[in-house]
Structures are given as structure tokens and as C-alpha cells.
Structure 1
């Protein structure tokens, strides 16, 4: 991963989903922390789980932290 915070999770949309961008590429829409963990695993961090997502300094949360989905 290229930068200090290579993952951006955007504010929830009208469906309560949050776009996830990893290293400049949209990985998809997350509906939970579990989805963000899956995107991180697909990006090469196979050991990442939900608790890692909540605590990680790799992630920039916009429009609320990991507890905000609506």
C-alpha cells in the first residue's frame, strides 16, 4: 500500500453503504466493518479482520468512524 492512509471509507450514502477506496481505486461499497475487512483482504492484507479495521491507522474514515453506517 502506497501512502500512510491508503484506505478511505466515505460517508454513508442513501442505502447506508460506504464507498471504499484502496490505493486510489474504488474497491466497492461496504455495508459493515466486515465488508471493509474483506476489501482489505482482497487488497493483500489476508489477516485483516473486523477488529483490525476498527483500530487501523491505514484507514481514513470520512463522515463518521467505523460505527457510522446510516
Structure 2
């Protein structure tokens, strides 16, 4: 069984870090990137996964399909 999949909040420059457990899979800039990272991590049928409605994926700091930081939102270092 695969560990929890966490999609972190968007970085100030865009993209969201994708984690499986404590392993970073990469920085996803769109759903295609996320699906490819999950496929490479061994998730069978990653393309058939409904990203926004899957109990396998925890979206932090923004909803599914959002890969750009919100305008005016401060990044992790306190910089906008």
C-alpha cells in the first residue's frame, strides 16, 4: 500500500511539491505532472484517478487543479 500522497501549497513561483510519505516526487505544475509522478511512484492506473475526489490525495493550501500561488498570499519564508 502506498503512503499518503500530499500535494503541498503552491510555491511563490508556481507549482506544488508532491510528497509520498517523506519522499518528494517533484514539483507539479499541472495535473499531467502529478499523474506522471504518481505513475513513476508505482500507483497503478494513476491516469484513471479522479484527482480532486480521491481519498488517496491530500491537497494542502489550495484545492485540486490549482498550481499557482494566490496573488498577495505570502510564501513559506514570509515573502509575497
Task: Give the alignment's TM-score, normalised by structure 1.
Answer: 0.81
Cα distance in 1 for residues equivalent to 2:23 and 2:47: 21
5+ long unaligned stretches in structure 2: 69-80
Cα distance in 2 for residues equivalent to 1:69 and 1:50: 20
Partner of 2:76: none
Partner of 2:72: none
CA RMSD of aligned residues (A): 1.6
5+ long unaligned stretches in structure 1: none
Partner of 1:44: 42
Cα distance in 2 for residues equivalent to 1:53 and 1:61: 10
Corresponding residue to 2:19 among 9, 12, 21: 21
Runs of 4+ in 1 over 3 A off after TM superposition: none
Partner of 1:34: 32
Task: Give the alignment's TM-score, normalised by structure 2.
Answer: 0.72
Q: Number of aligned pairs?
A: 67
Mark the structure with the bigger radius of gyration: 2
